[in-house]
Chains A and B, each alone.
Chain A
Amino acid sequence: KNEVEQSPQNLTAQEGEFITINCSYSVGISALHWLQQHPGGGIVSLFMLSSGKKKHGRLIATINIQEKHSSLHITASHPRDSAVYICAVPTGGSEKLVFGKGTKLTVNP
């Protein structure tokens, strides 16, 4: 069974700060997903990565397969980044995703 742990659970930042959210998982995987859930409930896929680093705008995701750890960074954070960020990994050699409990980010102006 693959457990997914995220930290921190809650994060409050001031606009412009650099944000880091961490995700650790317990078994080997081929890829990891980062998702963003807006206050209204909608879920957006941010990244799917299997090695190294990916960047999209102010968002950067990194993964270390050997250490079973991934980080999501937000540079120059903005109030519109306020959301819940969720990491998820496939389990059992299938596409079934197991989700972390999420990190609630609040960015204050």
Chain B
Amino acid sequence: DSGVTQTPKHLITATGQRVTLRCSPRSGDLSVYWYQQSLDQGLQFLIQYYNGEERAKGNILERFSAQQFPDLHSELNLSSLELGDSALYFCASSGKRRSYNEQFFGPGTRLTVL
């Protein structure tokens, strides 16, 4: 158990819908990262937050947005869903600010868009 929690574990929805994925980092970790893992693209970095602020951005679509709240949990919002958004979404957390840190991964949310 990494100490990172994600909800829900599974999500099935239809095209055009909007969903919210939630992540709670390990106690004391200030950074949260979101990743997408699809069959054809593998693991890809989406976005990082540090202590409530966006720190780095990757291949995140404009239909997707994220935020980190004062209690440090984070939410990833996916809107106008398409079939291709079906994937595993992981969040990870780490503790320090400006060094390359070990990241602890949550169990993932499996999103299926029908």
A residues within 8 Å of B by Cβ?
30-31, 33, 35, 41-45, 48, 50, 86, 88, 90, 92, 94-99, 101-102
Contacts and interface: CB of A to CB of B under 8 A. Distances in A.
B101 A95 contact: yes
Contact of B105 (A45, A48, A94, A95): A45
Given A43-B105, A45-B103, A45-B104, A96 B56 contact: yes
A45 B31 contact: no
Interface string B90-108: 1010100001111111011
Contacts of B105: 35, 42-45
B45 A42 contact: no
A95 B103 CA distance: 10
For the complex of A and B, 6 pairs with smallest distance between CB atoms? A31-B100, A43-B105, A99-B43, A48-B102, A94-B56, A96-B45
A94 B92 CA distance: 15
Given A41-B88, A41-B108, A97 B103 contact: yes
A98 B101 contact: no
Given A41-B110, A95-B56, A102 B42 contact: yes
B18 interface: no
Interface centre among A35, A86, A98, A99 (most CB of B within 10 A): A99
